[in-house]
Amino acid sequence: MRHRDTIHDEQAGQRQDERPARLRIPAPGWLLAIAGGLALIAAAVAEPSAAGQAAGQDWQPFVLVTGLLLIGLVADGDGLFEAGGHQLARLARGGVTLYCGAAVLIGVVTALLNLDTSVAFLTPVLVYTARRRGGGEAPLLYGCLLLSNAGSLLLPGSNLTNLIVLGHLHLSGALFLSRMWLAWLAALAVTAAVLAVTEKRELLVTAVEPAGRARRPVLGLGLAAVVTATVLVVVLRAPAVPVVAVGLAAVAARGWQRNLAARDAFAVAGLPVLAGLFGIAVALGVLGRVWSGPAVLLTHLGSWATAGVAAVAAVLVNNLPAASLLAARTPGHPFALLVGLNIGPNLLASGSLAWILWLKSARTAGANPSLRRASRLGAVTVPLAMAAALAALMLTGAA
């Protein structure tokens, strides 16, 4: 019997080996990488000079966000974000206070470590914070996404689009901050206020003080990397290479201590997605250089219309390729352009990479966010936040 069973198993195995292998469909990130690679090759073959110029304008933002995400990973491993969320939950006496504190935390992390870092690491922290207090998680869950996009106007590294548009301006981080601080504050405050009114029922839920203690954060490598990156972004006009060097060094140190796996760093950096977006951005940058249509359109628009066009373009093709297309030539209203590129993506999931990271992080935390609900909230907050930011630019003379 055993002999027959063995023969039968061998024959079954042979038949299974003879079956045609199923085609494995690449993950969406790799599909985007393939599409971006093909677009990049086509652009380089068609217009080599324009492709070189577009790549020279676009590469630094993608390198910078990679470094900031790696630094965020190390900071998260040191418990910095978790400790911030837990301390916030302990200090806040009510849902409104907790929400206001979370808005400040989101704004600071977004400004210093990029909006992608904010949504990737703060989303699960804020979801856990809301659950620990027994209050509604929706204001913090959706607020993390919308406030991260709206709060990405302060520093060049806060959003990749800032660096793409800054390619023509050659501004230092300090000078950029002096032009945009009031617009950043206005967009963040208006978005937070509208969300608070929209989600007031859940904010008024009586919460309890969280039980237990969060693990004590390690005030070492992660904090040092965050401070160093912040200084580099503010002081240097081209901080991408130094910041990614800091990120790689921090990850290597954690790996040497066997506290961080290389696959985790690769997953957090999202290199296939970044590579795909880079290829598409360069291709659209080439289009903007060989076709004068976008530049001519922007020269005939005021600051408010420029921001509107930028918001629509961001939703249609993602804000990074949109920035490369619309800033291929020096725009007439660069700061208004950034208002549309940074705040406009809150309208739809196609607007920015932050949506993908937010959705992934929220689901990892056990939440089930609704893209439709997020878009409805964005439809209310975006026009008001953009209007507030543009009015602020007019007050400071940057419009």
pLDDT at residue 237, rounded to an integer? 77
Residue 269 lies in domain? 39-396
In a domain, 90, yes or no: yes
Number of domains the chain is built from:
1
Cα-Cα-Cα-Cα dihedral sign, residues 374, 380, 383, 384: negative
Q: Is 86 part of any domain? A: yes
Residue 21: per-residue pLDDT: 36
Q: What confidence score (pLDDT) does residue 288 get?
A: 93
Task: Identify whether 62 is part of a domain.
Answer: yes
Residue 291 domain-assigned (yes or no):
yes
Instruction: Identify whether the C-beta of residue 343 lies closer than 8 Å to the C-beta of residue 336.
Output: no
Per-residue CA distances from 65 to 61, 97, 160, 389 (Å): 6, 31, 7, 24
Question: Among 310, 323, 284, 392, which residue's Cα sits nearest to residue 47?
Answer: 284
> Which residues in the chain come in under a pLDDT of 50?
1-25
Cα four-point dihedral sign 104, 116, 52, 303: negative
Residue 336 in domain: yes
149 belongs to a structural domain:
yes
Q: Is 212 left (phi over 0), alpha (psi -120 to 50) or beta?
A: left
Cα of 123 vs its chain's centroid, Å: 12
The answer to whether residue 107 is domain-embedded is yes
Q: Rounded to whole angstroms, what are the CA distances from 107 to 58, 336, 340, 345, 358?
A: 25, 20, 18, 17, 15
Q: Quick check: is 239 in a domain?
A: yes
Q: What gap in Å lies between CA 205 and CA 208, rounded to an integer?
A: 10
